């Protein structure tokens, strides 16, 4: 039977079968709690508001907000009414925001009250934005115009709005921009079909094991790669949601897990590094956790072991990308590996994991020849499948990344005989020393296994003899101290001799990108003259 795969049906399922399951938002005043049934009513009213404000099918609706219930309502109101949800990264530089908003041609911009001051200076450069809506009860003192208060609009909205049932499943539903090595960010447009299929695979047992009984805490921002699909998946299966609100720190996250009895949480490794450090000083009951999804950067083995021993909840490695909506691999161990020694199981769990059902992958060399899955051959990872993007939105860089029906990820990896993917590096982050490649990720993971190391970022620094040499930038844990010599001795038995960093430099913090990844280009610029004497 022909049946369109639409996000509307997910929301209606949550409303019909699980109307009493809760959605909680941490706010500056406390906690706001309501149910999927109430959320559906507000979302339908919001869709009517979009129509009254002149939003037409296909128009982009921009969001500039934290993880909260109003942002969640926009996740459904925009696409289910035929418009396109466009989540904006609140940590981008002003010139990047201007480019993205103008390139996407956003018509409306919804923003949290405490973020208004970030948009005011650039509002005059936004060519297509017709109005602003502040996600609160009233309009604050602002230079933005015209501007409305979210709750005032909903109070005056009609209850008569009905979501369209005749949308084509290939209708655009959402849009994200991914950072670029050079040039402007690149846009990825997702259809209802794309997001529906991603949701279905994500909920399966061997991927994320999602259940209506779960209480899900997405610490990953709602502006980062569709909050890893968790907003739509939660509605699809009717799970309860805990939204961490503005600026959640390690203590806020631990308190939410303890008090809301969270069963599944998701966030980048730096989040869980902070939580683990907190648990070394303060006591929290995190026994409700079934497991944690961590991605966006390589998860150190020491972090996986730390949560096993201190919390009893496994961290699963997740790997993906904006172009994949985003999940492509999950670090679950196959049944055939259950008998491995503990050390070997940890080694396997530190890999990016198995390809999720529904996708295909290849490993190729620089000439495009397929490489063996032997755990040794290193090449670029290629992906294809029904929820993979086929192009960038109005961007000539499509031709470089999407070739011969495959997406070329730019990630250098190995695949072992069991099919487990291990990312060695981004092509731009590999260290080429004396004609041979060194994986910065492997060095970072080993360094972060030292008890005194909080974070470690390894970069390639130009060298007069070897072309490049690795330099480790290390953040020491509070209350600890360690010397360069000690760290090099710690590394020596774990990696090849010529892999050892030529220098270990101690920094107060590793700079991060807008989505919490190590920003190595900043470090490379800072230390590029270390071996050449250049300023």
DSSP labels, 210-267: --TT-EEEE-S-TTSGGGGGHHHHHHHHT-EEEE-BSS--HHHHHHHHHHHT-SEEEE
CATH number for the domain whose boundaries are 7-248: 3.40.50.12780
3-class DSSP string for 285-340: CCCCCCEEEECCCCCCHHHHHHHHHHCCCCEEEEEECHHHCCEEEECCCCHHHCCC
Residues contacting residue 255 through CB under 8 Å, at least 6 positions apart: 284
DSSP labels, 135-199: SSSS--S-S-SSEEEHHHHHHTS-S-----S---TTSEEEEEEE--SSSS-EEEEEEHHHHHHHH
Q: What is the pLDDT of residue 433?
A: 82
Q: What is the pLDDT of residue 370?
A: 97
CA angle 290, 291, 292 (to 5 degrees): 145
Spatial separation of the C-alpha atoms in residues 438 and 421, rounded to whole Å: 17
Q: What is the pLDDT of residue 498?
A: 83
CA angle 234, 236, 237 (to 5 degrees): 70
Among 437, 494, 512, 521, which one carries the catalytic annotation?
437
Q: What is the pLDDT along the chain (535 residues), one digit of tens a residue?
A: 889 999 999 999 999 999 999 999 999 999 999 999 999 999 999 999 999 999 999 999 999 999 999 999 999 999 999 999 999 999 888 999 999 999 999 999 999 999 999 999 999 999 999 999 999 999 999 999 999 999 999 999 988 899 999 999 999 999 999 876 567 899 999 999 999 999 999 999 999 999 999 999 999 999 999 999 999 999 999 999 999 999 999 999 999 999 999 999 999 988 998 999 999 999 999 999 999 999 988 888 889 999 999 999 999 999 999 999 999 999 999 999 999 999 999 999 999 999 999 999 999 998 999 999 999 999 999 999 999 999 999 999 999 999 999 999 989 899 999 999 998 877 677 787 876 778 888 899 899 999 999 999 999 898 888 888 999 999 999 999 999 999 999 999 988 788 899 999 999 999 887 767 788 888 988 998 888 776 5
Q: What are the E-state strand segments in 351-466?
A: 354-355, 360-364, 379-384, 402-403, 406-415, 421-426, 431-433, 436-438, 453-463
Q: Identify whether 178 is a catalytic site residue.
A: yes
CB–CB of 214/235 below 8 Å?
Answer: no
Three-class DSSP category at 33: strand
Does the pTM surpass 0.85? The reply is: yes
CATH 3.40.50.12780 residue window(s) in the chain: 7-248
Q: Identify whether 432 is a catalytic site residue.
A: yes
Count of helix runs (H) and strand runs (E) in the chain: 16, 26
Three-class DSSP category at 389: coil
355, 337, 340: which is closest to 420 by C-alpha? 355
Q: What is the pLDDT of residue 356?
A: 97
Side-chain-side CA neighbours of 479 within 13 Å: the count stands at 5
Q: Identify whether 367 is a catalytic site residue.
A: no
Q: What is the pLDDT of residue 435?
A: 66
413, 493, 510: which is closest to 450 by C-alpha? 493
Domain topology for 431-527: GMP Synthetase; Chain A, domain 3 (3.30.300)
Three-class DSSP category at 358: coil
Among 260, 323, 380, 446, which one carries the catalytic annotation?
323
CATH 3.30.300.30 residue window(s) in the chain: 431-527
Q: How many residues does the chain have?
A: 535
Among 9, 35, 142, 178, which one carries the catalytic annotation?
178
Among 120, 400, 432, 498, which one carries the catalytic annotation?
432
Spatial separation of the C-alpha atoms in residues 394 and 399, rounded to whole Å: 11
């Amino acid at each position: 039977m022909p049946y369109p795969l639409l996000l509307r049906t997910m929301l209606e399922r949550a409303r019909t079968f699980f109307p009493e399951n809760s959605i909680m938002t941490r706010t500056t005043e406390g906690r706001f709690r309501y149910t999927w049934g109430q959320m559906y009513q507000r979302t339908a009213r919001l869709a009517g508001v979009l129509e009254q404000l002149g939003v037409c099918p296909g128009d982009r609706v921009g969001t500039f907000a934290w993880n909260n219930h109003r942002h969640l309502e926009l996740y459904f109101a925009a696409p289910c009414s035929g418009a396109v949800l466009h989540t904006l990264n609140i940590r981008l530089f002003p010139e990047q925001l201007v480019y993205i908003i103008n390139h996407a041609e956003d018509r409306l911009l919804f923003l949290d009250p405490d973020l208004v001051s970030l948009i005011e200076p650039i509002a005059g450069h936004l060519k297509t934005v017709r109005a602003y809506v502040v996600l609160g009860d009233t309009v604050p003192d602002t230079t933005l115009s015209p501007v409305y208060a979210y709750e005032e609009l909903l109070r005056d909205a009609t209850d008569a709005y009905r979501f369209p049932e005749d949308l084509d499943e290939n209708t655009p539903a959402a849009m994200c921009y991914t950072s670029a090595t050079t040039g402007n960010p690149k846009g990825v447009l997702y259809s209802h079909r794309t997001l529906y299929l991603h949701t279905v695979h994500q909920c399966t047992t061997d991927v994320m094991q999602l259940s209506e009984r779960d209480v899900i805490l997405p610490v990953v921002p709602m502006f980062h790669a569709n909050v890893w699909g968790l907003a739509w998946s939660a509605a699809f299966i009717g799970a309860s949601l805990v939204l961490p609100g503005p600026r959640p720190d390690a203590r806020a996250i631990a308190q939410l897990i303890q008090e809301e009895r969270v069963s599944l949480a998701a966030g980048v490794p730096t989040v869980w590094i902070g939580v683990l450090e907190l648990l070394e000083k303060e006591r929290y009951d995190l026994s409700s956790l079934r497991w944690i999804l961590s991605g966006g950067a390589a998860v150190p083995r020491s972090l996986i072991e730390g949560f096993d021993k201190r919390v009893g909840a496994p961290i699963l490695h997740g790997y993906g990308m904006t172009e994949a909506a985003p999940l492509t691999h999950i670090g679950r161990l196959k049944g055939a590996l259950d008998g491995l020694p503990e050390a070997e199981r940890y080694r396997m769990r530190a890999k990016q994991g198995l390809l999720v059902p529904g996708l295909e992958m290849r490993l190729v060399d620089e000439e495009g020849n397929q490489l063996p899955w032997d755990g040794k051959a290193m090449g670029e990872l290629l992906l294809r499948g029904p929820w993979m993007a086929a192009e960038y939105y109005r961007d000539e860089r499509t031709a470089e990344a999407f070739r011969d029906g495959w997406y070329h990820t730019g990630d250098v990896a190995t695949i072992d005989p069991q099919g487990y993917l291990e990312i060695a590096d981004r092509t731009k982050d590999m260290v080429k020393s004396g004609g041979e490649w060194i994986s910065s990720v492997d060095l970072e993971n080993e360094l972060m296994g030292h008890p005194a190391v909080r974070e470690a970022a390894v970069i390639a620094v130009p060298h007069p003899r070897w072309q490049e040499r690795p330099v480790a930038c290390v953040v020491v844990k509070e209350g600890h101290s360690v010397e360069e010599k000690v760290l090099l001795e710690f590394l020596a038995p774990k990696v090849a001799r010529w892999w050892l960093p030529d220098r270990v430099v101690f920094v107060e913090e590793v700079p991060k990108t807008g989505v919490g990844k190590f920003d190595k280009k900043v470090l490379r610029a800072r230390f590029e003259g270390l071996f050449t004497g250049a300023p």
